[in-house]
Structure 1
Amino acid sequence: MEKAKISASQLFILMVLFELGSALLVPLAMDAKQDAWLAILLGMIVSFVLLLVYHKIYWYYPDLLPTEYVQKILGKVMGSVLSFLYLLYFMYDASRVLRDFGEMLLTFAYPETPLFIANALLILVIIYTVRKGIEVIARSGELLFIFLYILAIAGFILIVSSGLIDVTNLQPVLEEGLLPVLKVVFTQTLYFPFTEVIVFTMILPYLNNPKKAKVTMLCATGLSGINLVITMLINVSVLGVNLTARSQFPLLSTVQTIQVADFLERLDVFFMLALVIGIFFKISVLFYATVIGTANLFKIKSPSRLSYPLGLVVLFMSITIASNFQEHLHEGLKVVMFVLHIPLFVIIPPLLLLVAFLKNRKKQRG
């Protein structure tokens, strides 16, 4: 671990930016149709249970990275294998978010630019930031968090004043009952974006006041969840269910419809900027966790040396991950949930907590 410390407020900001990241971009929970906002809200509430599990494991080993304490819990061989699997997942997730960024940029601003160039430019900035350490990432977050919220509030005011909102698009609520909404919760919104914050178990040992970790994690997830609910309510009420579901990037489509007093329009550039900020921090946190975890697992003294080779791996994975954006979305919202998210977020952490609890109880008795 590098000798660095971050405050609870910096952790809070990083978590909010991380969870908003690419979740603002894609048509989240649209299988629930006009009840998508409810599926996001319930996903956030259910995720609190898993966040408490992640926090409790951290509480047993507050000074160790997960790559170290998993070996203490499961033994050196099994612990190393499991740690390596999580690091591979963080790298894979970073490449998925990088692909989201590239596709958005090419669709709305640079249609003639190769995807490789767009992704390479962002990953170079992220490599530079990660080499500077977690304190620099956290301070950058503090600065850009304010800017992001100014844009969000301005956008909300403009959408309302444009008279675009049609509340009837949100009706009828629970048309087909609660079951379809719960299905979306347990197949989509619980995992993306809320329990993806398992990556922050790699950041928690840097917290200068470990006692504030639980409240910070829950509050950050609560705020980002409410923001995503409001965003989805606006998207559906402006575009309607069908257009929101068909749109590659619903929020940007919503912003493009803003027209105030016949002169204030084409504001999507500002909101692309806001989305780039969120995506930048999401990839930075995932990539930092990969670099610091790999260095710790393989006993490499200088983690910054790993940033360039691992950055190249993330870049090439982002290009080869899917042949087109629709395949990429299908893989992310349907396939990955069952293959990776359920085992890594829902099944393994409670088992680790159980073993850690039994081991610590034996120590206390001893």
Structure 2
Amino acid sequence: MEKAKISAIQLFILMVLFELGSALLVPLAIDAKQDAWLAILFGMVGSLALFLVYHKLYTYYPTLLPTEYMRKILGKVIGTVLAFIYILYFMYDASRVLRDFGEMLLTFAYPDTPLFIANALLMLIIIYTVRKGIEVIARSGELLFIFMYVLAIAGFILILTSGLIEIKNLQPILEEGLLSPLKVALSETLYFPFTEAVVFTMILPYLNDSRKAKVTMLCATGLSGINLAITMLINVSVLGVNLTERSEFPLLSTIESIQVANFLERLEVFFMVGMIVGIFIKITVLFYASTIGTANLFKINSPSRLSYPLGIIVLLLSITIASNVQEHLHEGLHIVKTVLHIPLFIIIPLILLLVAFLKNRNQQRGKSV
């Protein structure tokens, strides 16, 4: 670990921007149709329970990175293998979000630019930021948080004043009962974007006041969940369920619809700037976690030396993980959930907590005897 500390406010901001990240881009939970906003809220509530699991592990080992305490809990061999799997996942997830960025940029702004060039430019900035350390990442998050929310509030006001919202598009509520949004929550929104924030277990040891970790994580998830639910409410009310479902980037389509007094229009550039902010923070956090995790696992004294080789791997992976945007989205929303998200976000943390609890209880008994 580098010798650095961040505040609870900085952790809160990083988590909110991380969870908004690429989730604002896609038609999140649209399988629940006009109840997509409910599916997002259900997924958020489920993730809060899992964050309590992550936090309890942190309280057992407040000064250790997960790559360290996994070896303490499960033994050197199994713990090392498991820690390496999580590092690979963080790099893979970073490459997926980088691909989201490239596809968005090429679709709406630079259609003739090679995907590699677009991704490489952002990756260079992220590598530079990660080399500066967690304190610089956190301070960058504070500035970008204000900027992103100013854009969001302005966009919301413009959508209201342009008269685009049709409440009837949100009706009937719970047409198929609670089962539909619950099913989508358990199959999608629980994992993306909320419990992706398992990566913050790699950041928690840098928190300057460990007592504030739990409330910070829960509040950040609550705010991002409410924001995502409002976003989907707006998307569906403006575009309707069918158009939202067919759109690759529904929020961009919503912003493109804004027209105030036949003067204020073509505002998608502001949307893209806001999206780049969230995506930048999400990739940076994932890439930072993979960098310090690799350095910790292989006992490399200077994690910053790893940023260039690992950055090249993430960049190349972002180009090769899918042949087109449809394949990329299908893989992310359906395949990755079963293969990676359920084991890494739910099963393994629960096993780690159970073993850590038993070990801690036995140690307490040994001391009392």
TM-score normalized with structure 1 length: 1.00
One-letter code aligned to 2:224? S
- The answer to whether the aligner puts 1:35 opposite 2:43 as a matched pair is no
Deviation per CA, 1:186-242, whole angstroms, max 9, x where unpaired? 110000000001000000000000000000000000000000000000000000000
Matched residue, 1:364: 364
Gaps of 5+ in 2: none
Does the residue aligned with 2:356 lie in a helix, a strand or coil? helix
- State the alpha-carbon separation in 1 of the partners of residues 278 and 180 from structure 2: 29
The structural deviation recorded for 1:177 is 1.4
One-letter code aligned to 1:75? G
One-letter code aligned to 2:304? S
- How many residue pairs were aligned? 366
Matched residue, 2:65: 65
Q: Structure 2 matches for 1:87-126, cutoff 5 A?
A: 87-126=87-126
Matched residue, 1:215: 215
The structural deviation recorded for 1:39 is 0.2
- State the alpha-carbon separation in 2 of the partners of residues 288 and 226 from structure 1: 27
Deviation per CA, 1:310-340, whole angstroms, max 9, x where unpaired? 0000000000000000000000000000000
Q: Structure 2 matches for 1:84-163, cutoff 5 A?
A: 84-163=84-163
- State the alpha-carbon separation in 2 of the partners of residues 182 and 218 from structure 1: 20
- State the alpha-carbon separation in 2 of the partners of residues 87 and 59 from structure 1: 22
Matched residue, 1:254: 254
- The answer to whether the aligner puts 1:21 opposite 2:21 as a matched pair is yes
Deviates more, 1:180-189 or 1:311-320: 180-189
Gaps of 5+ in 1: none
- State the alpha-carbon separation in 1 of the partners of residues 70 and 346 from structure 2: 16
- State the alpha-carbon separation in 1 of the partners of residues 83 and 69 from structure 2: 9
Q: Structure 2 matches for 1:221-240, cutoff 5 A?
A: 221-240=221-240
- State the alpha-carbon separation in 1 of the partners of residues 178 and 226 from structure 2: 20
The structural deviation recorded for 1:46 is 0.9
Matched residue, 2:333: 333
Does the residue aligned with 2:357 lie in a helix, a strand or coil? helix
Deviation per CA, 1:232-260, whole angstroms, max 9, x where unpaired? 00000000000000001000000000000
One-letter code aligned to 1:85? I
Deviation per CA, 1:36-79, whole angstroms, max 9, x where unpaired? 00000000011100000000001100000000000000000000
Deviation per CA, 1:120-152, whole angstroms, max 9, x where unpaired? 000000000000000000000001100100000
Deviation per CA, 1:12-32, whole angstroms, max 9, x where unpaired? 000000000000001110111
One-letter code aligned to 1:276? I
- The answer to whether the aligner puts 1:83 opposite 2:83 as a matched pair is yes
The structural deviation recorded for 1:356 is 0.2
The structural deviation recorded for 1:176 is 1.2
- The answer to whether the aligner puts 1:299 opposite 2:314 as a matched pair is no
The structural deviation recorded for 1:181 is 1.3
Matched residue, 1:323: 323
The structural deviation recorded for 1:353 is 0.3
Q: Name the Cα RMSD after superposition.
A: 0.4
Matched residue, 2:290: 290
Matched residue, 2:276: 276
Does the residue aligned with 1:304 lie in a helix, a strand or coil? helix
Question: What percentage of residue pairs aligned between the two structures are identical?
Answer: 80
The structural deviation recorded for 1:178 is 1.4
One-letter code aligned to 1:165? I
- State the alpha-carbon separation in 1 of the partners of residues 218 and 176 from structure 2: 31
Does the residue aligned with 1:172 lie in a helix, a strand or coil? coil
One-letter code aligned to 1:124? L
One-letter code aligned to 1:108? F
- State the alpha-carbon separation in 2 of the partners of residues 355 and 313 from structure 1: 34
Moved over 2 A (4+): none
- State the alpha-carbon separation in 1 of the partners of residues 356 and 346 from structure 2: 16
- State the alpha-carbon separation in 2 of the partners of residues 73 and 121 from structure 1: 40
Does the residue aligned with 1:322 lie in a helix, a strand or coil? coil
- State the alpha-carbon separation in 2 of the partners of residues 174 and 142 from structure 1: 38
- State the alpha-carbon separation in 2 of the partners of residues 198 and 144 from structure 1: 22
One-letter code aligned to 1:310? L
Does the residue aligned with 1:365 lie in a helix, a strand or coil? helix
- The answer to whether the aligner puts 1:201 opposite 2:204 as a matched pair is no
Matched residue, 1:165: 165
Does the residue aligned with 1:62 lie in a helix, a strand or coil? coil
- State the alpha-carbon separation in 2 of the partners of residues 361 and 226 from structure 1: 38
The structural deviation recorded for 1:183 is 1.1
Deviation per CA, 1:262-303, whole angstroms, max 9, x where unpaired? 010000101100000000000000000000000000001110
